[in-house]
Amino acid sequence: MTRNVHCVLLKREAPGLDRPPYPGELGQRIFNEVSREAWAAWVRHQTMLINEYRLTPVDPKARKFLEEEMGKYFFGSGSEKPKEFQAPGA
């Protein structure tokens, strides 16, 4: 059975995640307030950040940066794309 949430990013009811996608309070908040669709959008954005900034996800500094960006993406002012970023095909 699908669990619905009022998604903070989409501003509407949508299917929620099956389990917290990240440990701790942030993961629980995302589980409670973020839809599957919004989470998929974050994963795409996170992949772009990793590629553009050439981050290594196992590096503690990179993980901290991505966690901060995740919080901003869902619950803050938003996570910005790097100034130099150009979408493929642009």
53-66 average pLDDT score: 95
- For residue 8, the domain's CATH number is 1.10.3880.10
Residue 9 Cα distances to 13, 44, 55, 84, angstroms: 10, 15, 25, 25
Per residue in 11-41, pLDDT (tens digit) is: 999 999 999 999 999 999 999 999 999 999 9
**Global pTM value:** 0.88
* Domain range enclosing 31: 4-75
Residue 83 in domain: no
Residue 87 in domain: no
